[in-house]
Structure 1
Amino acid sequence: MINLKDKTVIVTGSSRGLGKQIAIEFAKKGANVVINYNSNESEALSTVKEITLNEGKAIAVKANVSQNEDVNHLFEKTIEHFGKVDIVVNNAGIMMTKFLKDFSAEEFDKQFTTNVKSVFLMMKKASDKLEENGRIINISSSTSRLMMPTYAIYSATKSAVEQMTKVFAKEIGSKGITVNSVLPGPMNTALFTNGKSPELINKIAALSAFNRIGNVEDIIPVILFLGSDESQWITGQNIGVNGGMA
């Protein structure tokens, strides 16, 4: 059974959606949890309340993790409150889908800033602040393994994250720190379902071996394992968790 008691984890973008559920499940396993948010303060505080009402330990820290100063602030507040950082889950991200020819340069930059620069800055800071034998878990996407029209830019951001994961794992391995990415398939979260018709969702679900889209409950056990001591020999891996979709 996975035991994360007294480990301290930062989960970026964890006021709602998959990030929120990741944070809650880490808390259930005994971890001290930092709920990071950029704009959704009420949802972040609600998540903290949900954790603490169930005898967990959590704080909320506002930080735009695509900005270096905010990343510094996030780590400082975490260490100030909990004394250390053991695990970083880089979950913050945005998804914009349309044909490549229809993207503006500004929209391209926005996705790369949010999805790639934030992971770079968090891993860079973690290299100095993470405890030895720490864990870095990047949330990527199985779209990087597919050729799905309208996903060109989003998939490119996730491919960049996966390549950084592999290389950084070797760069930081001497500290016993592991670096891995989890690649969920489509999930029943707002990030995926917003703007999609039921017909389109069903068509995408048919790509899975199980003829359905995933739920957060399908993804989180893998993330918890990668955050545990038992995963010490797994690093530099991009792990698909997608029901056989890719």
Structure 2
Amino acid sequence: MEHGHGHGRPMTADEVRAMLEAPAWDERYGGEELVWSGFPNPQLVAEIDDVEPGRALDVGAGEGADAVWLARRGWAVTAVDFSAMALKRIAEHAAEAGVQVTTEQADVRDWAPPRGAYDLVNSQFMHQPPEVFGPLVTRLAAAVAPGGHLVVVGHHPTDLDKPEIGRPPVEEMLFTAEDVAARLDPGSWEVLAADTRPRQLIGMDGEPVTAHDAVLHARRRA
């Protein structure tokens, strides 16, 4: 069972906004310990486990657990993050796993992946202010090839009602699956999942707690 936070305490809104800059993540990833669990995000596994491998883009890739999992399953993976230390960790973890992952340093706030280049675009818990997040989803969707998949997962706003989960108080940076789906043209996309899914965590008080993930999985029509 996962811990519901990676900070030792809930982050303040100001601390969250500071984490929107690369130096903060370079510092965080610069220690010796893993920041995250090292396991792939469960909603990615649930949605993509049976999908035939192709070209994958993992955006906001962190320490690379999703990218390495995809590479092990035969995907040709490009992992993108704005933190140089994150990319270093991804390269190390890929080497340890004996797989190839291409890394690219980019800031998603002003970056656009090549259009139609990927059979899977994966974005897990990459929370941004609304004025950044909406256009980013549009750019990520544009990078999906015909017949390809878009998976976007985040913390659901209802988690804020449970202080024991430790979510930071920035409701405007959380989203629902329906928020993401609304940015996709129904004529071009088939929504395979737009769910609010429960997930068991260990809360700030050390006790089990149910959190909720917003899960959007859509396939571009061929």
Q: Give the equivalent residue in structure 2 for 1:2.
A: 50
Aligned length: 169
The answer as to whether partners of 1:10 and 1:89 remain within 8 angstroms in 2 is: yes
The reply to whether residue 45 of structure 1 matches residue 93 of structure 2 is no
CA distance in 1, matches of 2:125, 2:159: 20
| Correspondent of 1:90 among 120, 123, 132 | 123
Cα shift at 1:201: 3.4
1:119-168 Cα offsets, whole Å, 9 max, x none, are: 42332123433201222111211453552358574344223x53322313
The reply to whether residue 24 of structure 1 matches residue 46 of structure 2 is no
The answer as to whether partners of 1:133 and 1:178 remain within 8 angstroms in 2 is: no
The answer as to whether partners of 2:141 and 2:150 remain within 8 angstroms in 1 is: no
Which of the pair is proportionally richer in helix?
1
Q: Give the equivalent residue in structure 1 for 2:42.
A: none
| Correspondent of 1:139 among 139, 153, 177 | 153
Residues 164 and 12 of structure 1, relative CA distance in 2, 3 Å threshold: same
The reply to whether residue 13 of structure 1 matches residue 60 of structure 2 is yes
Q: Give the equivalent residue in structure 2 for 1:128.
A: 142
Computed over aligned residues only, the root mean square deviation of the Cα atoms, in angstroms, reads 3.9
The reply to whether residue 202 of structure 1 matches residue 206 of structure 2 is yes
CA distance in 2, matches of 1:124, 1:142: 20
The answer as to whether partners of 1:138 and 1:181 remain within 8 angstroms in 2 is: no
Q: Give the equivalent residue in structure 2 for 1:108.
A: none
What are structure 1's unaligned runs of at least 5 residues? 95-111, 194-199, 233-246
Residues 29 and 35 of structure 1, relative CA distance in 2, 3 Å threshold: same
CA distance in 2, matches of 1:185, 1:128: 30
Q: TM-score, normalised by structure 1?
A: 0.53
More relative contact order, 1 or 2 (CA 8 Å, 6+ apart): 2
Q: Aligned runs of 1:52-201 on 2, under 5 Å?
A: 52=95, 54-67=97-110, 71-72=111-112, 75-76=113-114, 84-91=117-124, 93=126, 112-113=128-129, 116-144=130-158, 147-149=161-163, 151=167, 153-159=169-175, 161-169=176-184, 171-176=185-190, 180=194, 185=199, 200-201=204-205
CA distance in 2, matches of 1:9, 1:172: 23
1:17-45 Cα offsets, whole Å, 9 max, x none, are: xxx22222111111111211112x13313
Q: Give the equivalent residue in structure 1 for 2:35.
A: none
Cα shift at 1:61: 1.0
What are structure 2's unaligned runs of at least 5 residues? 1-48
Cα shift at 1:182: 6.9
Cα shift at 1:173: 4.7
CA distance in 2, matches of 1:93, 1:175: 22
CA distance in 1, matches of 2:196, 2:78: 20
CA distance in 2, matches of 1:119, 1:183: 21
Amino acid paired to 1:164: D
Cα shift at 1:172: 4.3
CA distance in 2, matches of 1:183, 1:134: 23
The answer as to whether partners of 1:12 and 1:89 remain within 8 angstroms in 2 is: yes
**Larger deviation: 134-143 or 179-188?**
179-188
Which of the pair is proportionally richer in strand?
2
Residues 47 and 15 of structure 1, relative CA distance in 2, 3 Å threshold: same
Please give the secondary structure, in 2, of the residue aligned with 1:164: helix
CA distance in 2, matches of 1:46, 1:151: 25
Question: Matched residues, percent identical?
Answer: 11
Please give the secondary structure, in 2, of the residue aligned with 1:168: coil
The answer as to whether partners of 1:4 and 1:26 remain within 8 angstroms in 2 is: no
